[in-house]
Structure 1
Amino acid sequence: MITSFETSLQNLSVHKVGNKSQDEYLTLSDAQLSIKDETLNNLLMTYFLKPFEKVNEIYRFTHSSEDLALNEIYHFAKKCFQEPETFHEMSQQITRHLFDVSTHPKIKSGEVYIAFFDQVQIEGQLHQAIGIFKSETKETYLKVYPDAGGFFLTYEREAINIQKLDKGCLIINTESEEGYKVAVIDQTNKTPEAAVYWKDDFLKLKIRNDSFNQTTNVLGLYKNFVKEKIDDDFQISNPDKIDLLNKSMKYFKEKEKFDMDEFSNEVIGNEVAAKSFKDMVQSYEKEFESPISGGFEISGQAVMKQKSSYKSVLKLDKNFHVYIHGDRQLLEQGFDEGKGMNYITLFYNKEM
């Protein structure tokens, strides 16, 4: 978790980046800003850092050659941390690099803010951090002023909503040899082709293989296994699939550590299906170089985030939705020959 109640904004430079493929321009400022107004400083801190309070995924810089020094943003950030006097020069280099990768036709122009922070808290520790933010979306705001016993109404166009950060990343000055800790936000360019430019082309990141990521991956893999892969080996009803998902969620809520054999026995409960799931996990580990089957600490935050995607609803035509939360044995399925329709019988003690 990232918090900023002790954080101070030390340096800030602002530039503008257009879309290179649309013959738009790159505009670099000559010097960094001096923010003396306390209210403006507080507004900027809200705009830049508040969105990161809800970010759990932590990334690291990477490069296809495995030489981190060849990652442009890693290189500029490291120099800035080591030589703070180069901050503005490095902010210009970062912006030039962003302009070079801004070639997809759907990428919007916008202002780029490069900030240097002190005392950013992540996972209980305070560190320096470099922030890279981009504002793409502009809005129109109404302004109301007292005027001669009444009010005067005007507006301001091309304004920025400080509650809506379009794009951002925080580079935390720790674990530099492993690629730093990096948090990312991208609220625009949701199409895959346009979205990759921020995280992949510009920053070149890979997810950190921590407990949050491992918990998320196993829950996601198991959900796909139950919904799609398990049908290859078994004929299994939708209520039974929901029961398997409910059992897995119960396991992750009650246990502190994930153990593959324990999970296979307690949740899957079938040797053939357990082997199929293990094979699926091993394929994932090999493809993404992200070991998870050896066991890990379960992240409660990841469990809560994944819970909403674990649907326990059985949809019956357009007439009924049956929510299955508990004992699967209290639900029976059958087929009525006379009506030529399927039916479900539910057993319960009392209405709630």
Structure 2
Amino acid sequence: MIHVSEFKDLAQLTIHKVGNMSQEEPLICSQAPLQLEDEMIGQLLLTYFIQPFTNSAEYFRFFHEADIQLNEVFQYCRRIFEDKENFQEQSVNIAKHLYKHSTHPKIKGGELYIAYFSRCQVDGEDVEAIGIFKSENRDTYLKVFLSDDNYQVNYEDGINISKLDKGCLVFNVEEENGYQVSIVDSISKQNEAIYWKDAFLQVQRREDSYHQTETAVNMCKQFINTKLPTEYEMNRVDQVDLLNKSAAYFKEKEQFQLDDFANEVLGNPDAIASFKEYKESYQQEFQQQLPDTFDISASAVKKQQKVFKSVLKLDRNFHVYIHGDRELVERGYDEATNMNYYKLLFENES
């Protein structure tokens, strides 16, 4: 977990302008780091850079299919960590590397900020970090001021410090594994934004408890929704019941244990055997290794709550949310109307 309040020492900062290469926009690099003499500006920049990472628990690492040493951003960051005198030179290399990948027609040019933090706190440990941030969108601000005893209104073009477009924090830990990296990308769902994470940074998720929990949650959901119905006669209520039991397991347990989950949630020996076989095929299909035992990440469970939606959709007329005892829901068929129905049993209405 990243603690924003512990980013107190913005030791160095430099700013470059990175345009879109395919549109012949220029790359303009500063010759020296910025001299931050105004304490208020320093605090505003810290808010702009770090606030989007608040409570972030998902980490990545630099990688390269052939050799981690061939990952360019990894190399530039490593040189800065090794010798702070390299900061400006390597910041220019980072800007050139980003410019090389800024070729999609929809990629906007913008300011690239490279920052060095001599001390910050992540997961309770004090470490140094490098920040790579890009602003692409500008806002218009009204400026109200007093002139000759009358208030006047003007406007200014600027950057909204509450909206960081793209960001990356590289923590100086686990260098041999590609460092510990946290990422922000406000438009990551758009195809043209893939360049930030995949082309420019070249990162992949770390094999930690967050990633393992997220993978397990998705695997269990897929098994219940797609695999089980092909092997057993199951109605949607039974599926929702299993999703509820799965959600309760991840919320209440501190550790995932394959046999414990299978017995507690599935119960049926044949379903348990099918689940274990499905785990193996899931790992091969998505090329993700999932251990039989790992610590459950509460942050990952919270983020994945929507996966376990306990809703029963009936045509376009009703949505029934089922949170409790499955035995209080009965399914039937009405011959008079030739339609299915559900009977809900309860004691009190509110």
Q: TM-score, normalized by length of structure 1? A: 0.95
* Alignment pair present for 1:233 and 2:234: no
- Provide, for residues 304-348 of structure 1, a one-character-per-residue CA deviation record: whole Å limited to 9, x for no partner: 111133211112223322110000000001010012211111111
Tell me which amino acid in the other structure corresponds to 2:45.
L
Tell me which amino acid in the other structure corresponds to 2:194.
V
Residue 244 to residue 24, structure 1, CA distance change in 2 (3 Å): same
**1:90 equivalent in structure 2:** 90
* Alignment pair present for 1:123 and 2:120: no
> Partner of 1:206: helix, strand, or coil?
strand
TM-aligned CA deviation for residue 41 of structure 1: 0.3
Residue 287 to residue 34, structure 1, CA distance change in 2 (3 Å): farther
Cα contact 1:281–1:293 (8 A) shared by 2: no
Q: Distance in 2 between matches of 1:106 and 1:19?
A: 9
Q: Distance in 1 between matches of 2:299 and 2:126?
A: 21
- Provide, for residues 230-283 of structure 1, a one-character-per-residue CA deviation record: whole Å limited to 9, x for no partner: 222223211111111000011111211111111111112233333333333223
Tell me which amino acid in the other structure corresponds to 1:52.
F
**1:29 equivalent in structure 2:** 30
Residue 264 to residue 125, structure 1, CA distance change in 2 (3 Å): same
- Provide, for residues 279-306 of structure 1, a one-character-per-residue CA deviation record: whole Å limited to 9, x for no partner: 3322343455543232101111111111
**2:64 equivalent in structure 1:** 63
Residue 315 to residue 57, structure 1, CA distance change in 2 (3 Å): same
Residue 309 to residue 288, structure 1, CA distance change in 2 (3 Å): closer
> Partner of 1:54: helix, strand, or coil?
coil
Greater CA deviation, 84-93 or 277-286? 277-286
**2:216 equivalent in structure 1:** 218
Q: Percent identity?
A: 48
Tell me which amino acid in the other structure corresponds to 1:343.
Y
Mapping of residues 8-87 of structure 1, within 5 Å: 8-65=9-66, 67-87=67-87
Q: Distance in 2 between matches of 1:11 and 1:319?
A: 59
Mapping of residues 151-190 of structure 1, within 5 Å: 151-157=151-157, 159-190=158-189
> Partner of 1:11: helix, strand, or coil?
strand
> Partner of 1:309: helix, strand, or coil?
helix
Tell me which amino acid in the other structure corresponds to 1:279.
E
* Alignment pair present for 1:276 and 2:274: yes
Cα contact 2:91–2:114 (8 A) shared by 1: yes
Tell me which amino acid in the other structure corresponds to 1:247.
K
Gaps of 5+ in 2: none
Cα contact 2:3–2:55 (8 A) shared by 1: no
Q: Distance in 1 between matches of 2:342 and 2:125?
A: 54
TM-aligned CA deviation for residue 92 of structure 1: 0.1
Q: Distance in 2 between matches of 1:86 and 1:5?
A: 27
Q: 1:330 aligns with which of 328, 332, 335?
A: 328
- Provide, for residues 38-90 of structure 1, a one-character-per-residue CA deviation record: whole Å limited to 9, x for no partner: 1100000000011111321101111110x211110110000000010010000
Cα contact 1:4–1:119 (8 A) shared by 2: no
Cα RMSD between the aligned structures?
1.5
Aligned residues: 349
- Provide, for residues 127-176 of structure 1, a one-character-per-residue CA deviation record: whole Å limited to 9, x for no partner: 1000000001111111111233331101112x111001100000001111
Residue 106 to residue 277, structure 1, CA distance change in 2 (3 Å): farther
**1:296 equivalent in structure 2:** 294
Tell me which amino acid in the other structure corresponds to 1:27.
I
**2:338 equivalent in structure 1:** 340
Q: Distance in 2 between matches of 1:74 and 1:6?
A: 24
Cα contact 2:218–2:307 (8 A) shared by 1: no
- Provide, for residues 209-240 of structure 1, a one-character-per-residue CA deviation record: whole Å limited to 9, x for no partner: 11111111111111122222322222321111
Cα contact 1:61–1:179 (8 A) shared by 2: yes
Tell me which amino acid in the other structure corresponds to 2:266.
I
Gaps of 5+ in 1: none
**2:149 equivalent in structure 1:** 149
Q: Distance in 2 between matches of 1:309 and 1:160?
A: 36
> Partner of 2:330: helix, strand, or coil?
strand
Greater CA deviation, 15-24 or 280-289? 280-289
Q: Distance in 2 between matches of 1:16 and 1:283?
A: 47
Q: Distance in 1 between matches of 2:264 and 2:124?
A: 34
Q: Distance in 1 between matches of 2:264 and 2:227?
A: 19
Cα contact 2:48–2:162 (8 A) shared by 1: yes
Greater CA deviation, 299-308 or 285-294? 285-294
